[in-house]
Amino acid sequence: MKKWFFLFVLLMLLAHEVYQLKSEGDYEIIDVNQMQWAPEESQVLEIARDQVYQGNLLLVNKDYPVHQEGVKSDVVNLIQHKELVEGYGLLDDRIRLSQGVAQKFLQMVQAAEKDNVRHFLITSGYRDKEEQSQLYQDKGADFALPAGHSEHNLGLALDIGSTLSGMNQAPEGKWLQKNAWKYGFVLRFPKDNKDITGIEYEPWHFRYVGLPHSKIMQKKNFTLEEYLSYIKEKKNIGETIAGMEYEVSYYSVSSKKTVNVQANRYEISGDNMGGVIVTALSAENARIGQDKMKKKMEM
């Protein structure tokens, strides 16, 4: 009994330790609250087919539609959550977004404020299929995607504006292109990448993918399409943030798959194309973290 109690306390302290780590600015390395605990160093996970259609790394475009499982369950009307709307404006009072993504956006806006960049505006967030269908009818295929084929149908994407000028010129746009990755966001449709994304340059459209993925995409100048192809080809890649090593692994899922996760924390996302990506703290970091916690408890 004492052994299990000690393990429980150790895991809780380790979670706190990882949560507190910061790097290259005032931002979280990864949202540990969204990651799951592996009760032991190595755990076999059983991944069901529907996991392919859930998570922060889903590819959504004209070829890969949104599945209902992929729509974020925490979508809220932002105007009804005043604590989420501080330091930036809303184009209108109907704008909705994943609450978790809104919290990350707020954290990003607060960091920009420290750099005297403070004129942010959310012009669009989550759209249901009816809203997307109407937009498609109004704008046409050159400026909108059909219902169910837009990232806005997920709750993970938002259009960000500035009250000063267009985002390709505004300080807010320039700041985001340099810093958004630190908070898990990426510019989804960069300049000169229409042949890859199918969409013209949109300096206002940002997508939440989470860390460490946003850092890798920024470093390698990848679109989401390129990043997912890269993971699929490599199968395993790593990234280090604040001395903590993350392992990103790709698995093809036909009907049901079991995978071995050697980590104390992990996160799973589908790619919407038949595979899943497991993001985990490396086993070595898990051991180092546990050793640190043991020493603290012995003091």
Per-residue pLDDT of the chain (299 residues; tens, 9 = 90+): 544 444 444 444 444 444 333 434 454 444 544 566 555 556 788 888 899 999 999 999 999 999 999 999 999 999 999 999 999 999 999 999 999 999 999 999 999 999 999 999 999 999 998 989 998 888 877 677 888 999 999 999 999 999 999 999 999 999 999 999 999 999 999 999 999 998 989 999 999 999 999 999 999 999 999 999 999 999 999 999 878 889 999 999 876 678 877 666 889 999 999 999 999 987 565 555 444 444 443 44
Residue 10 has a pLDDT of 41
Whether 17 is a known active-site residue: answer no
Helices and strands of the chain, counted as H and E runs: 8, 14
Sign of CA dihedral 275, 98, 180, 131: positive
Q: Which residues contact 16 (CB under 8 A, 6 or more apart)?
A: none
Residue closest to 179 by CA, chosen among 214, 152, 213: 214
| Residues making up the chain, counted from first to last | 299
Write the DSSP symbol of residue 129: H
pTM of the predicted protein model: 0.84
pLDDT at residue 292, as a whole number: 46
Strand partners, 97: 76
Query: CA nearest 122: which of 153, 77, 169, 154?
Result: 77
User: How far, in Å, CA of 41 to CA of 150, rounded?
Assistant: 38
DSSP symbols for 181-249: GGGTEEESS-TT-HHHHSS---TTEEEE--TTHHHHHHHHT--HHHHHHHHHHHSEEEEEETTEEEEEE
* Residue 244, amino acid: M
Query: Which of 283, 278, 219 lies closest to 248, judged by CA?
Result: 278
DSSP state of 162: E
**Is there a contact between 291 and 49 (Cβ–Cβ < 8 Å)?**
no
Best CA proximity match to 123, nearest among 171, 82, 172, 182: 172
Question: What's the rounded Cα separation, in Å, for the pair 191 and 81?
Answer: 34
Tokens for 103, please give them.
Answer: 């919290």
The single residue of 202, 225, 226, 239 carrying the catalytic annotation is 202
Q: What domains appear along the chain, each with residue ranges and CATH number?
A: 14-57+216-299 (no CATH), 69-208 (3.30.1380.10)
What is the enclosing helix (H) or strand (E) of 128? none
pLDDT of residue 281: 82
Q: Maximum Cα–Cα distance for the chain, whole Å?
A: 66
- CA dist 175 and 167 (Å) reads 10
Dist. CA 3–CA 22, nearest whole Å = 31
